[in-house]
């Protein structure tokens, strides 16, 4: 029997955009156990809710994560609106979905590029990020920001987008969708991509369910679930079919995300064509008094926001259950038995967002 060695992985590692540390107990080249440690970028954002006005806290909620920032702000607003019984104008709901889907598409494209970079396919990495740039331009044109949208507001959205701009943006997204199909073909057919991803990081359907995986990690293991089916915002008017793959490996998770990009790009065009006329903001009255759980689908999976108000301008409690946190047990399971060289790739296949997870 060979000797067991502990090899530290992270917090600074070329495949990790954010810091997480995993102690890998290896025997020869095989990982026997993975022990994670967190807390490198904990910022205490949840505690800030006691100091910030509940309206101002929207800015903090958006800064929980730099990639899926908009959906964080939207989730917080949605939870507070439910507490305050505010009915959002339909146009605001459509604009929220427009930006949420842009957020999902650019997040997945960024992830696809990082994955390609992780297995040494730099050309593919740059092609993914080239298309992402088109989406970032659309985001900048409609919200004014590239990373922090700053458009979430309790009671609606902060800025309206005229129909001309929406149509122009939809045309840009349509051309990006055509270009993306070529990239998707490479991911689907290329020999080096498949040889690097197929059969690696297996997570069976039962394990995914029992370990509480969410989002593309769960759907890549053959379980059909998507929080957008709950019908929040304007999703109740749109037809969404969860993307499911049954291979249970890294390649399946990759393909789920790639199909979701196509789905999001189609949804953006549909929303741009169907956005109704009307106001985009309904002023809430009074202060939040009560509690609510809001569930949304982020690029990485289901996210849960809990807010509790006590009738004052400061909320008494705010809590986020992020998808990365839910996917960590599944990741540790995937790492058991894998080869040391595959660890970076497998960690990437859950699309870890450590800023979200640690807040």
Partner 1 sequence: MKPLAMTKLSLRNLFKEPVTVAYPVIPREYFPGTRGRILIEPSTCNLCVICDVRCPTKAIKVDRKGQTWTIDRLSCIQCGACVEACPRKCLTTGNQYSEPMTEKSVLVVPIPFVPPPPKPKPPAKDASDAKDSPV
| Residue 112: strand pairing partners | none
- Whether the CA torsion 315, 83, 241, 127 is positive or negative: it is negative
Say whether residue 168 binds partner 1 (CB under 8 A).
no
Q: Determine, following the binding rule CB under 8 A, whether residue 221 of this chain makes contact with partner 1.
A: no
Interface with partner 1 (CB under 8 A), residue from 87, 189, 241, 286: 189
Q: Which lies closer to partner 1 via its Cβ, residue 98 or residue 235?
A: 98
Least distance between partner 1 and beta carbon 81 (Å): 19
Considering only residues 13, 159, 168, 321, which one is a binding residue for partner 1 as defined by CB under 8 A? 159
Q: Which two tokens stand for residue 352?
A: 């870890």
Residue 312 sits at φ, ψ, to 5 deg, of -115, 180
Contact 198, 243 (CB under 8 A): no
The only residue of 28, 140, 206, 210 in contact with partner 1, by rule CB under 8 A: 140
Q: Is 282 in the site for partner 1 (CB under 8 A)?
A: no
52 scored as a contact of partner 1 (CB under 8 A): yes
Judged by CB under 8 A, does residue 148 bind partner 1? Answer: yes
- Asked if 323 contacts 214 with a C-beta cutoff of 8 angstroms, the reply is yes
- Of 103, 92, 115, 133, nearest to 279 by C-alpha is 92
Residues 319 and 196 sit within 8 Å (Cβ to Cβ): no
Q: Does 144 bind partner 1 (CB under 8 A)?
A: yes
158 lies in the site for partner 1, by CB under 8 A = yes
Residues in contact with 238: Cβ distance below 8 Å, sequence separation at least 6, in sequence order:
97, 267, 270, 271
Binding residue (CB under 8 A) for partner 1 from 17, 36, 66, 145? 145
| Shortest spacing between CB 292 and partner 1, in angstroms | 23
Contact call for residue 143 and partner 1 (CB under 8 A) = yes
Q: Which of 319, 356, 289 lies closest to 80 in space, CA to CA?
A: 289
> Which of 133, 237, 266, 282 is in the footprint of partner 1 by CB under 8 A?
133
Question: What span, in angstroms and rounded, lies between the C-alpha atoms of 359 and 356?
Answer: 5
Q: Where are the alpha helices (DSSP H) in 277-353?
A: 323-335, 343-349
Our finding on whether 191 is near partner 1 (CB under 8 A) is yes
Does 30 contact partner 1 by CB under 8 A? Answer: no
Which residues have a Cβ under 8 Å from the Cβ of 168 and sit 6 or more positions away?
A: 141
Query: Between 155 and 323, whose beta carbon lies closer to partner 1?
Result: 155
Cβ nearer to partner 1, comparing 140 with 206: 140
Would you give the binding string for partner 1 spanning residues 99-118, x where CB under 8 A is met? --------------------
141 binds partner 1 (CB under 8 A): yes
Q: Which of 56, 181, 206, 210 binds partner 1 (CB under 8 A)?
A: 56
**Contact present, 15 and 344 (Cβ < 8 Å):** yes
The reply on whether position 241 binds partner 1 by CB under 8 A is no
* Number of Cβ atoms within 10 Å of the Cβ of 154: 24
What residues are paired with 27 via a beta bridge? 4, 30
Nearest Cα neighbor of 271 from 242, 240, 250, 244 is: 240
**Which residue, among 233, 251, 229, has the nearest Cα to 241 in the 3D structure?**
229
Q: Is 190 in the site for partner 1 (CB under 8 A)?
A: yes
Q: Which is nearer to partner 1, 89 or 145 (CB)?
A: 145
Q: Which stretch binds partner 1 (CB under 8 A): 107-115, 133-141, 207-215, 243-251?
A: 133-141
How many residues touch partner 1 under the rule CB under 8 A: the total is 28
CA 314 vs CA 43, 135, 140, 310: distances in Å: 19, 35, 31, 8
Site string for partner 1, 57-96 (x = CB under 8 A): --x-------------------------------------
Interface contacts to partner 1, rule CB under 8 A? 52, 56, 59, 121, 123-124, 127, 130, 133, 137, 140-145, 148, 150, 158-159, 182-183, 185-186, 189-191, 194
């Amino acid at each position: 029997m060979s000797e067991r060695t502990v090899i530290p992985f992270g917090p600074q590692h070329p495949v990790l955009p954010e810091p997480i540390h995993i102690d890998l107990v290896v025997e020869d080249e095989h990982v026997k156990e993975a022990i994670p440690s967190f807390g490198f970028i904990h910022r205490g954002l949840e505690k800030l809710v006691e100091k910030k006005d509940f309206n101002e806290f929207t800015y903090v909620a958006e800064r929980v994560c730099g990639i899926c920032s908009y959906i964080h702000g939207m989730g917080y607003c949605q939870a507070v609106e439910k507490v305050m019984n505010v009915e959002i104008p339909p146009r605001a709901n459509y604009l929220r979905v427009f930006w949420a889907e842009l957020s999902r598409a650019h997040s997945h494209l960024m992830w696809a590029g990082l994955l390609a970079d992780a297995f040494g396919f730099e050309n593919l990495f740059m092609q993914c990020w080239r298309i992402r740039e088109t989406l970032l331009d659309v985001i900048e044109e409609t919200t004014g920001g590239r990373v922090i949208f700053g458009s979430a507001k309790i009671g609606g959205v902060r800025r309206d987008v005229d129909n001309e701009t929406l149509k122009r943006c939809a045309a840009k997204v349509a051309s990006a969708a055509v270009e993306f199909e070529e990239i998707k073909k490479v991911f689907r057919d290329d020999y080096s991509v498949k040889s690097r991803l197929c059969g690696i990081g297996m997570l069976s359907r039962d394990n995914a369910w029992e370990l509480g995986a969410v989002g593309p990690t769960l759907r890549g293991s053959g379980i059909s679930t998507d929080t957008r089916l709950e019908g929040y915002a304007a999703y109740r008017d749109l037809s969404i079919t969860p993307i499911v793959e049954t291979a249970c490996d890294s390649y399946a998770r990759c393909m789920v995300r790639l199909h979701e990009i196509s789905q999001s790009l189609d949804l953006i065009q549909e929303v741009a064509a169907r956005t109704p006329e009307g106001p985009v903001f309904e002023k809430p009255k009074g202060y939040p008094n009560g509690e609510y759980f809001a569930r949304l689908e982020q690029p990485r999976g289901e996210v849960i926001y809990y807010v509790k108000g006590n009738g004052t301008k400061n909320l008494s409690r705010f809590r986020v259950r992020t998808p990365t946190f839910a996917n960590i047990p599944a990741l540790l399971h995937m790492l058991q038995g894998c080869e040391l060289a595959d660890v970076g790739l497998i960690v990437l296949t859950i699309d870890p967002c450590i800023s979200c997870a640690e807040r």
